[in-house]
Amino acid sequence: MKNNSSRYKTIASIKVIEDNNSLLRKAAVVFLFLGILASFSYFTYELGGTISGAAPAKEQLSQLKQQVEKLDSEREQLSSTANSADSVLNIERSTQKQLASQVQALTTENNKLKEDLAFFENLIPAASGPEGVRIGAFKADASNKTQIQYRILVMQGGKNVADFMGELQFLVTVIDNGKTVTLTLPEIKNDGANRLKLSFKYYQRLEGTLNIPEGAVIKTVQARILDKGQLRTFQSINF
């Protein structure tokens, strides 16, 4: 009986050990399965992120941001260059306008100097020339349709001449309303004002403006030198 009892205890111990080993195996299988499941889930997440484009989207966004920043920088540089070019162009335009004004002023001054030169050249033979009053130079500009700008040099030649006292008068022929009209200018008022008086010994230079009726077409301008109302000499310009 004692041997049988020992035998039953040994069988029971073996059964307990077998049950424990079975539980361990089951536990190991469960843990192994959980590990495989976790690995598969992680792999699936990473793969899904790559397939769905999530990871590349971040890289593309970063690249796009860099491109935008680069384009902004280039735009600012181009804008700065354009502004600089505009500034240079404005300066060039201003300089060109100033140069054009200076050229115009120099041209006007040069023309005036030429006239002065001609004026003094005319004075040289005045003392030794024929006696009497004459018109040394006469210019008229009718570019303004309602005005005539004139410059005239009146001279007296000879030796031991007396002072000349006279008057300058203009006869202007125009076409007005289809008719030829002769204007005596300047118009003399009742009190004698507006007379272009002459008073010189050897020469006198005058310049001024004659007003013409609006719409009239200028044909000729004649400068006349009067001495006590009598015509001494004249010179005409045709247009």
Please tell me the predicted confidence (pLDDT) of residue 132.
85
Question: CA-CA distance, 111 to 105, in Å (whole number)?
Answer: 10
Same domain, residue pair 43 and 139: no
Q: Do the domain assignments include residue 94?
A: no
Q: Do the domain assignments include residue 68?
A: no
Measured from the Cβ of residue 27, the count of other Cβ atoms closer than 10 Å reads 10
Percent with pLDDT over 70 in the chain: 67
CB-CB contact of 202 with 174 (8 Å): no
Q: Do the domain assignments include residue 47?
A: yes
Q: What rounded mean pLDDT belongs to the chain?
A: 75
Interior/surface letters 60-92, b for 16+ CB within 10 angstroms, e for the rest = eeeeeeeeeeeeeeeeeeeeeeeeeeeeeeeee
Convert the pLDDT of each residue in 200-239 to its tens digit: 988 899 999 999 999 999 999 999 999 998 999 999 999 9
Q: Do the domain assignments include residue 155?
A: yes
Residue 227 belongs to domain with CATH number: 2.60.40.2560
DSSP annotation of 178 reads: T
CB-CB contact of 164 with 156 (8 Å): yes
Question: CA-CA distance, 91 to 235, in Å (whole number)?
Answer: 49
Q: Do the domain assignments include residue 159?
A: yes
Convert the pLDDT of each residue in 170-182 to its tens digit: 999 999 999 999 9
Of the residues 28, 52, 76, which one is the last residue of a structural domain? 52
Please tell me the predicted confidence (pLDDT) of residue 221.
97
Of the residues 10, 27, 52, which one is the last residue of a structural domain? 52
Task: Output 191 or 217, whichever has higher pLDDT.
Answer: 217
How many folded domains does the chain comprise?
A: 2
How many whole angstroms from its chain centre is CA 223?
45
What is the domain range of residue 43? Answer: 2-52
